[in-house]
């Protein structure tokens, strides 16, 4: 990812909206990230770098750097995408009805830059505190590890 996209490490700690033209987003994001984040695409299952990672840290929006999820809320749902049972902060994401693909789903977007992250599914019976599965595209995230990774 281009460093300009995150506007610095502290960018995720403020809730100031990030607004850029589509041309600016295209310059800042690689083609796959642009397709997912700005055009509501989906990466192939099991292809993302964070599907199986167990590194402790903070997951941030690849487009703007906002803190979205923490590794403590990540769990293995065996769905092919990183899964979290709760966002880091309830205001970190916004939820929107998605009627694409002939079904009703709940889309998850970054509340800071309005980028598409994935979808949330409820009531599937996972043994988590919320029974929610935030199914998030790896390419929509960056991981800020807690300390050195071994």
| pLDDT, mean of residues 101-130 | 94
Residue 88 has pLDDT above 80, yes or no: yes
Q: What is this structure's pTM?
A: 0.86
Give the Cα separation of 80 and 148 in Å (integer): 26
Catalytic annotation, residues: 135
Could you report the per-residue pLDDT of 64-82, keeping only the tens digit for each? 999 999 999 999 999 999 9
Task: Give the dihedral of Cα atoms 32, 36, 39, 44; nearest 10 deg.
Answer: 90
| pLDDT, mean of residues 115-138 | 96
């Amino acid at each position: 990812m281009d460093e300009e996209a995150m506007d610095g490490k502290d960018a995720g700690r403020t809730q100031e909206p990030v607004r850029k033209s589509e041309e600016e987003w295209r310059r800042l994001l690689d083609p796959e990230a642009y397709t997912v984040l700005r055009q509501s695409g989906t990466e192939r299952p099991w292809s993302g770098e964070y599907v199986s990672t167990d590194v402790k840290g903070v997951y941030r929006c690849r487009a703007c750097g906002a803190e979205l999820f923490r590794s403590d809320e990540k769990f293995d749902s065996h769905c092919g995408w990183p899964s979290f049972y709760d966002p880091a902060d309830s205001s970190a994401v916004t939820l929107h009805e998605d009627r694409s693909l002939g079904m009703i789903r709940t889309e998850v977007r970054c509340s800071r830059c309005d980028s598409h992250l994935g979808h949330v599914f409820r009531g599937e019976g996972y043994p988590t505190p919320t029974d929610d599965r935030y199914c998030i595209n790896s390419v929509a995230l960056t991981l800020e590890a807690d300390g050195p990774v071994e």
